[in-house]
């Protein structure tokens, strides 16, 4: 596709379950970002990947959160033992390289009940 | 720690008005600044990117300016239309290998 693709678009899960969110960036983009947007809040940085460099995980809120990027393309954000405060929209973005224009996906809406 | 503030939080204007959205940031040593638009229930769409060496960027009815020394940027929208109604977010990057830091946005309503 032409844009950043995220799946699922909506996910309702029970507290304590694990969830995986997927991001397929624009082809050829070396930088990939994950952000979280909670109701009424700004965008909170979680993690970014740049090529083969070690990812910047400084924004991950707890060790329940992890992310990987396979083959420099698709990324998966995993949240273990979900809590109600994890309910948010998880946005993925990519750019040709760090410092360039960033293109966002439509987001994955996560609701933990 | 870089902080980005956007004022006002919400703005309602009649169609046809010119308007200005404000963004301020605490650390003036930025790499670039970007303005985004977010429609309800959607992701973000990049509008304009201003590199630290630039003073302004224009795209159609949009003009963004950057004053690094004062830590400010403005987004000027000319001849506003109802289709411009959305939340506008400002974000700054401190260096080429740091993530964007976002403001909380200005929710704009253009009334026909």
Of B42, B43, B49, the CB nearest to A101: B49
pLDDT value of position B3: 92
CB neighbours of A2 closer than 8 A, spacing ≥ 6?
A26
B91 pLDDT higher than 80: yes
From the candidates B1, B3, B41, B44, which should be mutated to test the interface with A, based on the most A CB atoms within 10 A?
Answer: B44
Chain A residues with CB inside 8 Å of B99's CB?
33, 45, 48, 56, 59
Give the tens place of pLDDT for each residue, A36-70: 999 877 899 999 998 888 899 999 999 999 999 98
* Backbone φ, ψ for residue A40 (5° rounding): 75, 0
- CB contact under 8 Å between A42 and B105, yes or no, is yes
pLDDT value of position A6: 97
Give the tens place of pLDDT for each residue, B38-81: 999 889 999 999 999 999 999 999 999 999 999 999 999 999 99
Task: Summarize chain B as % helix, strand, coil (round to 5).
Answer: 5, 55, 40
* Backbone φ, ψ for residue B84 (5° rounding): -80, -10
Contact B76, B62 (CB under 8 A): yes
What's the start-to-end Cα distance of chain A, in Å?
32
CB neighbours of A11 closer than 8 A, spacing ≥ 6?
A19, A21, A108, A109, A110, A111
- A71: three-class secondary structure by DSSP: helix
- B7: three-class secondary structure by DSSP: strand
Cross-strand pairs, A91: A35
pLDDT band of residue A1 (cuts 50, 70, 90) is low
Using CA atoms, how far residue B45 sits from A19, A37, B12, in Å, is: 26, 15, 21
pLDDT value of position B1: 83
**Using CA atoms, how far apart are residues B38 and B43, in angstroms rounded to an integer?**
6
pLDDT value of position A26: 95
B10 pLDDT higher than 90: yes
Rounded to a whole number, what is the distance in Å from the CA of A56 to chain B's nearest CA?
8
Mean pLDDT of chain B: 94
Does residue B43 belong to the interface with chain A, where contact is any CB pair within 8 Å? yes
Rounded to a whole number, what is the distance in Å from the CA of A18 to chain B's nearest CA?
24
pLDDT band of residue A99 (cuts 50, 70, 90) is confident
A98 pLDDT higher than 90: no
A18 pLDDT higher than 70: yes
- A46: three-class secondary structure by DSSP: strand
Strand order in the sheet with B62-67: B4-7, B19-25, B72-77, B62-67, B56-59
Does residue B71 belong to the interface with chain A, where contact is any CB pair within 8 Å? no
A96 pLDDT higher than 70: yes
Q: Which residue has the tokens 């985004």?
A: B36
Closest chain A residue to the Cα of B31, Cα to Cα = A99
pLDDT value of position A68: 95
Using CA atoms, how far residue A76 sits from A24, A33, A52, A72, in Å, is: 9, 11, 16, 12
Of B36, B43, B91, the CB nearest to A106: B43
């Amino acid at each position: 596709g032409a844009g950043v693709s995220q799946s699922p678009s909506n996910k309702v899960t029970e507290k304590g379950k694990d969830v995986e969110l997927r991001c397929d960036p624009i082809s050829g983009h070396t930088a990939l970002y994950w952000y979280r947007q909670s109701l009424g809040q700004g965008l909170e940085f979680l993690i970014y990947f740049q090529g083969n460099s070690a990812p910047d995980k400084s924004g991950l809120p707890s060790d329940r959160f992890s992310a990987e990027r396979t083959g420099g393309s698709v990324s998966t954000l995993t949240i273990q033992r979900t809590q109600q405060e994890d309910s948010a929209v998880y946005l993925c973005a990519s750019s040709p390289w760090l410092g360039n224009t960033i293109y966002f996906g439509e987001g994955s809406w996560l609701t933990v009940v | 720690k870089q902080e980005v503030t956007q004022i006002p939080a919400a703005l309602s204007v009649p169609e046809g008005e010119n308007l200005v959205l404000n963004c301020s940031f605490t650390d003036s040593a930025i790499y670039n600044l970007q303005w985004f638009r977010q429609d309800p229930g959607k992701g973000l769409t990049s509008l304009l990117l201003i590199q630290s060496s630039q003073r302004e960027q224009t795209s159609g009815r949009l003009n963004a300016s950057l004053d690094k020394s004062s830590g400010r940027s403005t987004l000027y929208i000319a001849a506003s239309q109802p289709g411009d109604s959305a939340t506008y977010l400002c974000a700054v990057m401190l260096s080429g290998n740091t993530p964007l830091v976002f403001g909380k946005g200005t929710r704009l309503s253009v009334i026909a």
